[in-house]
Structure 1
Amino acid sequence: MAQASIGNSEFDRDTAVVLREPGVYDTDLPAGWTVFNAVNGGFLLAAVGRALGDALPHPDPVTITAHYLTASVPGPAVIRTEVVRSGRTMSTGQASLLQHDEDGNEVERMRIVAGYADLGALPDDVRTTAKPPAIPPYEHCLGSDAAPDGAPPMADAAPIMERLDLRLDPATAGWAVGAPSGLGEMRAWFGLADGRDSDPPALLLAVDALPPTAFDLGLSGWTPTLELTVHLRCRPAPGPLRVSVTTRNLAGGFLEEDAEVWDSDDRLVAQSRQLARAPRGA
């Protein structure tokens, strides 16, 4: 099967938005990007991010923050956007994603504020102490069609896994056989299953695509995102990404996840922090 390209892949079709009237976009959320019957938060961010990229004069999100108000479900949705400020190098917008409930009432699922620019026009000066995560070679990591001995394949846990080429570092996969490390870490190679290279919308998906770090803390079950902020640094080079996610604190029933995304040129292309509700399983 030919490798999909940016603009011509399942991800592009499924995150597509259609302009209904100025500032208002229609989209359809597919069941194939769900976890526990709820549409994945990173996928939602990519879809709403496309609407904002169309509504604003600049193409790429530099910082984007989403508050997830209620779980989004597969089916039709409306995205309402507003241009808050338009400057020479950056613009700011906000958006809401809405669906109808079983009684026909319009329900706001998520609300977003974002700053957009042209990532290709940013200065190339880099000063950082950050280092790419230490992950075994791609072929030595665990794919969604495989798992540690005695564990079910990761693809059995959520339909979204069938659309990702996710290769989990075995050192962070002990939870799958009842032996979590307790460190709250997840590391993986990330790509899309059809071979499409990553771009800014795909980075918004990547930061929320790994299994939750709560699993490595010995908890199981749905870990719904309450708030997610992503900073995009530059457009990624072709090839698989490396994603590292850590949690340092779980308290009051909430945990944070800090993610870093690195491209094939060893550049830090995206960072995120999210607040999630801890699962109740053990």
Structure 2
Amino acid sequence: MGQDAPTTEFDRDVAVEPTGEGRYRTELSDRWRVGGGLNGGFQLALLGSAIRAELSAQPDPIAISAYYVSPAVAGDAEVTVDLRRRGRRTSTVAAELRQGDAVRMTALATYGDLRAFPDDVKLSDEPLRLPPREECVPGSLAPPEVKEMAPFIERFELLFHPDQVGWAGGRPSGGAELSGWFRLRDDREPDPIALLLAVDALPPVTFELGLPGWAPTVELSAHVRALPEPGWLRVRHRTRFVAGGMFEEDCEVWDAADRLVAQSRQLALLPQ
């Protein structure tokens, strides 16, 4: 949609068409389905794409918190973007994804231009280390039932840490961590919008706890910390507490230059 046709699958699927007064039309693709709805990270990236279109001078998500009201499905949809504050360095908007009369997701987001921020990432922890990609396990080897439940995993390349794939063979380790290498199809390089997908691209960490199945997100907050360098991303999901039928999932995303480029925390329902 728009004057320049997107050249990659991801960009086509998060494209939006302005219809006036902060409204954007889009077509949600079933390619991003997981369980009973579309992947939460994809929805977040779609919303992020519409906000970027509305705030062209401040194109990058800095912080975004989204509440998933009802499962999004394939078909026509509309995103509304309501400017709440326009600032010199950052601006804040409220945004909503709707299908007909149903609200699918509502979010509050702060945007800016990451090129204008200091590029001085300092760490109190070591960057995520993974085995070489040739020693990791491709997501394409996931069991057929996982592929049927989550066809969205075909939309990107995912190489799992070999010590964290027991769930794929019915022998989960009981560990509370999943990690791997991540890259979009079509050699699409990472950018801040793609990072919004990456924070929710891995299977739920509950898989390795012996709790497979769709884990619907209740709320997800993402922070984009820096513009990512081209190349593969490294992603890690961890949880500490499973209680009340829900679990928290913390994510960190590292780029090819060993820089922390995104973080997130979500609250999700345990698989049924």
Which of 122, 131, 138 aligns to 2:133? It is 138
Is the aligned partner of 1:22 residue 2:17? no
1:134 deviates by 2.4
Between the aligned partners of 2:139 and 2:260, the Cα distance in structure 1 is: 25
Between the aligned partners of 1:271 and 1:233, the Cα distance in structure 2 is: 8
Name the residue aligned to 1:254.
246
Which of 239, 243, 256 aligns to 1:264? It is 256
Name the amino acid aligned to 1:62.
Answer: I
1:144 deviates by 2.3
Given the superposition, is the C-alpha separation of residues 136 and 152 from structure 1 closer, same or farther in structure 2, using an over 3 Å criterion? farther
Question: Which secondary structure does the structure 1 equivalent of 2:139 belong to?
Answer: coil
Name the residue aligned to 2:223.
231
Contact 1:92–1:116 (CA<8 Å) still a contact in 2? yes
CA offsets 1:164-222 (integer angstroms, 9 cap, x no match):
10111121110111221212211010001221111111100000000100111111211
Higher helix share: 2
Contact 1:52–1:94 (CA<8 Å) still a contact in 2? no
The unaligned stretches of length 5 or more in structure 2 are none
Name the residue aligned to 1:186.
178
Contact 2:68–2:218 (CA<8 Å) still a contact in 1? yes
CA offsets 1:204-258 (integer angstroms, 9 cap, x no match):
0000000100111111211000100000011110101000000110000010000
Q: How does 1:11-160 map to 2 (within 5 A)?
A: 11-56=10-55, 57-100=57-100, 106-147=101-142, 151-152=143-144, 155-160=147-152
Q: TM-score, normalised by structure 2?
A: 0.94
Between the aligned partners of 1:239 and 1:67, the Cα distance in structure 2 is: 30
Given the superposition, is the C-alpha separation of residues 202 and 267 from structure 1 closer, same or farther in structure 2, using an over 3 Å criterion? same
Name the amino acid aligned to 2:7.
Answer: N
Between the aligned partners of 1:138 and 1:16, the Cα distance in structure 2 is: 31
Question: Which secondary structure does the structure 1 equivalent of 2:140 belong to?
Answer: coil
Contact 2:218–2:266 (CA<8 Å) still a contact in 1? yes
CA offsets 1:104-148 (integer angstroms, 9 cap, x no match):
xx011110100001011111223221222221111111112225x
Name the residue aligned to 1:164.
156
Question: Which secondary structure does the structure 1 equivalent of 2:88 belong to?
Answer: coil
Contact 1:144–1:155 (CA<8 Å) still a contact in 2? no
Contact 1:30–1:75 (CA<8 Å) still a contact in 2? yes
Between the aligned partners of 1:255 and 1:97, the Cα distance in structure 2 is: 24
Question: Which secondary structure does the structure 2 equivalent of 1:234 belong to?
Answer: coil
Name the residue aligned to 1:218.
210
Between the aligned partners of 2:202 and 2:165, the Cα distance in structure 1 is: 11
- What root-mean-square deviation, in Å, do the aligned CA atoms of Structure 1 and Structure 2 show? 1.5
CA offsets 1:249-281 (integer angstroms, 9 cap, x no match):
00000100000000000000000000000112x
1:8 deviates by 2.1
Between the aligned partners of 2:227 and 2:128, the Cα distance in structure 1 is: 19
Between the aligned partners of 1:193 and 1:37, the Cα distance in structure 2 is: 24
Name the amino acid aligned to 1:234.
Answer: A
The unaligned stretches of length 5 or more in structure 1 are 1-5, 101-105
Report which stretch shifted further, 55-64 or 123-132.
123-132
Between the aligned partners of 2:156 and 2:176, the Cα distance in structure 1 is: 22
Identity %: 49
Between the aligned partners of 1:179 and 1:219, the Cα distance in structure 2 is: 11
Contact 1:65–1:112 (CA<8 Å) still a contact in 2? yes
Name the amino acid aligned to 1:198.
Answer: P
Name the amino acid aligned to 1:278.
Answer: L
1:46 deviates by 0.6
Between the aligned partners of 2:176 and 2:191, the Cα distance in structure 1 is: 28
Contact 1:144–1:153 (CA<8 Å) still a contact in 2? no
Q: TM-score, normalised by structure 1?
A: 0.91
Between the aligned partners of 1:187 and 1:154, the Cα distance in structure 2 is: 17
